[in-house]
Structure 1
Amino acid sequence: MPLAPPVAALLEEGRDRALSYAAYRRLVAESIDGAPLYEKESQQHFTRLNHQRMSRLDKTAKLDEAAAAAVVYSRPTLLLVLTEGWCGDAAHALPVLNLLAERIDNLELGILLRDEHPELMDAFLTGGSRSIPKVIVADAESLQVRGTWGPRPVPAQAIFAAYRADPDIDYDTYQLELQKWYNRDRSVHIQRELLEVLRRSAG
């Protein structure tokens, strides 16, 4: 088996091929009205749900302006996200990432479909798993990695851990509880954790 390219080369390819947030939203929207992104109906079903969630959050998510203003990048910085349209956690994180990229100077958001970039994904596993979304913060020119985040905020990760540990909790129940938590939280924990990663990476 050939060795994967160095991480910098994978990041360079990812940077060059990444979609903007607007382009990613169009891709998801077009997959609902036209040719589907996924062969599995279950994945396409969640993609439709996530399109609705992102549309709502695009209108309602509020950025912590004071915290965002405290993040100052002196160099162009890449906010690269590995995701898929069916990923419910990503549907809550991506609108917030877009707001951060719009608000913070020298910060550019790029989005990649995980399954089209397996080598890059394998360089940023979470506990040995290809968990998404995975956010990579890197210098846009040197491609030095400055920080990572994902796949979900700490309280949401606790809900996931409880589901994995209890065989009596089925997937549908887990998904319902997770979405209820996201709706109650209103992006507070996502913003707090992402802003902390950005603050450290800018320091």
Structure 2
Amino acid sequence: MKNTIAKALFNSHSYPEYRKMVADLLVEGKSTGNEQSESLTNYSKLNDARMNRLDKTITISEKILSKLDHLDNKYIWLVLSEGWCGDAAQILPVINKMALASHKKIDLRIVLRDDNAELMDQYLTNGGKAIPKVIVICKEAGIVRADWGPRPKGATELLAAYKKEFGVLDEKIKTDLQLWYLADKGNSVQEELMQIVENIAYNRL
């Protein structure tokens, strides 16, 4: 496990590096990942524009800012992602803002899912390679303390209810999911990840 994490971190990207990598591939008409298709490239274009907007508009709540300001330990948040992933496009800008507000207590690193199959296989969701997946690592000890993802509880419940009623996840629910994220304004991501960090600190006492 430690070797897998270490290998992933060695090949990881900062948030600006990740954004540039996705944008550079789009110039070539490509998306990240092993599979290439027109639809995945179109999703990546949409997500790139969405992330540009969220980078400007996402704000961290005063409550979360205060908690980030008083973190006692340093963490690495290692995120499995891909440029075509709609959930990742909504969540990564929030996580980046949290890391920036942490006074370097949180080091955000991003790796591509398809380039890190061994790591992804250790963090499956119901047997699937759902992303984004945030792996919370205690920087000092170099050990994984928790993981989170691929989406906030409210978004997960929205998808589960739709699938139960209609049996499929179609384009309508994808639109509904994006509207959910828009209304939530990143608050659920902030609350849930902060709760994980607080639980880690509590368990260390």
Q: TM-score, normalised by structure 2?
A: 0.89
User: Match of 1:131, SS?
Assistant: coil
C-alpha displacement of 1:168: 5.8
Q: Determine if the alignment matches structure 1 residue 48 to structure 2 residue 48.
A: no
Find the counterpart in structure 1 of residue 138 from structure 2: 139
C-alpha displacement of 1:34: 2.4
Answer yes or no: is the 8 Å Cα contact 2:29–2:41 preserved in 1: no
Cα distance change of structure 1 residues 170 and 108 upon mapping to structure 2, 3 Å threshold: closer
User: Match of 1:159, SS?
Assistant: helix
Find the counterpart in structure 2 of residue 201 from structure 1: 200
C-alpha displacement of 1:73: 4.1
User: Match of 1:115, SS?
Assistant: helix
Number of equivalenced pairs: 197
Cα distance change of structure 1 residues 114 and 138 upon mapping to structure 2, 3 Å threshold: same
Find the counterpart in structure 2 of residue 79 from structure 1: 77
C-alpha displacement of 1:70: 1.8
- Runs of at least 5 residues in structure 1 that lack an aligned partner in the other structure: 1-6
C-alpha displacement of 1:141: 4.5
Deviates more, 1:135-144 or 1:83-92: 135-144
Deviates more, 1:123-132 or 1:165-174: 165-174
Q: Determine if the alignment matches structure 1 residue 93 to structure 2 residue 87.
A: no
- The percentage of counterpart residues that share the same residue type is 37
**54, 57, 64: which one pairs with 1:57?**
54
C-alpha displacement of 1:139: 1.7
Q: What amino acid maps onto 1:103 in structure 2?
A: A
Q: What CA distance in whole angstroms lies between the structure 2 residues aligned with 1:35 and 1:169?
A: 30
Find the counterpart in structure 2 of residue 174 from structure 1: 173
Q: What amino acid maps onto 1:65 in structure 2?
A: E
User: Match of 2:127, SS?
Assistant: coil
Find the counterpart in structure 1 of residue 8 from structure 2: 14
Answer yes or no: is the 8 Å Cα contact 1:138–1:145 preserved in 2: yes
Q: What CA distance in whole angstroms lies between the structure 2 residues aligned with 1:163 and 1:42?
A: 23
Matches within 5 A, 1:121-160: 121-160=120-159
Answer yes or no: is the 8 Å Cα contact 2:64–2:190 preserved in 1: no
User: Match of 2:128, SS?
Assistant: coil
Q: What CA distance in whole angstroms lies between the structure 1 residues aligned with 2:201 and 2:18?
A: 26
C-alpha displacement of 1:148: 1.0
Q: What amino acid maps onto 1:83 in structure 2?
A: S
Deviation digits for residues 33-87 of structure 1 (CA, Å, limit 9, x no counterpart): 2251251111111111110110000000000233232244444321000011111
Deviation digits for residues 174-203 of structure 1 (CA, Å, limit 9, x no counterpart): 111111111111111111112111222334
C-alpha displacement of 1:98: 0.5
Answer yes or no: is the 8 Å Cα contact 2:132–2:150 preserved in 1: yes
Find the counterpart in structure 2 of residue 4 from structure 1: none
- Runs of at least 5 residues in structure 2 that lack an aligned partner in the other structure: none
Cα distance change of structure 1 residues 73 and 12 upon mapping to structure 2, 3 Å threshold: farther
**103, 119, 142: which one pairs with 2:101?**
103
Q: TM-score, normalised by structure 1?
A: 0.90
